[in-house]
Structure 1
């Protein structure tokens, strides 16, 4: 079954998939299926790049106000993928990789948990309480991150 879904996802043009469609796709997958799909390094990289690439478009500057913060994301799986989100001056910039800058908060999640979170299919507070989401640094900032982005609901 994961092979069929994997083949469908591998052929998918992620740029043509709306955030709501992506949320529905993720909702239909179990954590185990996502873990199996994420074992394909090329597919995992494509999905992560697309998700982080969309953060800029999903950003709600009116909600961020004067916020100035660097958020580091560490997604664990076959290897660790690191992305950074800089929110400042009403803008959101995303970079791949770890910079030398000190983040205000760092979020650590497994592949499946990350996809469930960014697609609106998981509650960040519940994830934190269940230790599926680890936070270092400013927990208050981390707990409010969802209000700065237009997160689809599946």
Structure 2
């Protein structure tokens, strides 16, 4: 199944696939299958596509006057494949950049590839992930808890 799904991901046009379709695809994969797919050359393509959608899925009314930099560290630490993206929320706007800036984030979220894809596709509960230590949070815990309200999270 992982080969079929990897092929589906390789052919996936992220510009046209809905967040719900992506969520269904992720939901059909085991953690092991996601990790296998994310070891390959598709990894950065998938991460860029997901983070690229974040600005469109931002809900400015819910974020209100929030000003914050959120740093995402995604990857399997043992494989030294951690990739960093940052989400800057500024009073109703959202901008995503790849890489680590010099700015101090209000919160840093660290999680593995599979956990990240499950989280952003609505297939995992962030509170459960936090208590299971699959999601590490450094910094403003209350901001981290509100993030799911700032974005439209798809449902599979």
Q: Normalising by the residue count of structure 1, what TM-score does the alignment of the two structures yield?
A: 0.97
Q: Which runs of 4+ in 1 moved over 2 A?
A: none
| Inter-partner Cα distance in structure 1 for 2:137 and 2:8 | 33
| 2:30 matched residue in structure 1 | 30
| Inter-partner Cα distance in structure 1 for 2:54 and 2:6 | 24
Q: Could you tell me how far 1:6 is from its partner in structure 2? A: 1.2
Contact 2:70 / 2:106 at 8 angstroms: preserved in 1?
A: yes
Matches within 5 A, 1:1-154: 1-40=1-40, 42-77=41-76, 78=79, 79-154=81-156
Superposed CA offset, 1:37-67 (max 9, x none): 0010x30111100100000000000000000
| Inter-partner Cα distance in structure 2 for 1:65 and 1:49 | 26
| Inter-partner Cα distance in structure 2 for 1:22 and 1:8 | 11
Give ranges in structure 1 of 5+ residues lacking alignment. Answer: none
Q: Could you tell me how far 1:19 is from its partner in structure 2? A: 0.4
Q: Quick check: 13-22 or 58-67, which moved more?
A: 13-22
Contact 2:122 / 2:155 at 8 angstroms: preserved in 1?
A: yes
Please state whether the residue corresponding to 2:52 is helix, strand or coil. helix
> What is the CA RMSD across the aligned residues, in angstroms?
0.9
Q: Could you tell me how far 1:8 is from its partner in structure 2? A: 2.0
Q: Could you tell me how far 1:89 is from its partner in structure 2? A: 2.3
Give ranges in structure 2 of 5+ residues lacking alignment. Answer: none
Q: Normalising by the residue count of structure 2, what TM-score does the alignment of the two structures yield?
A: 0.95
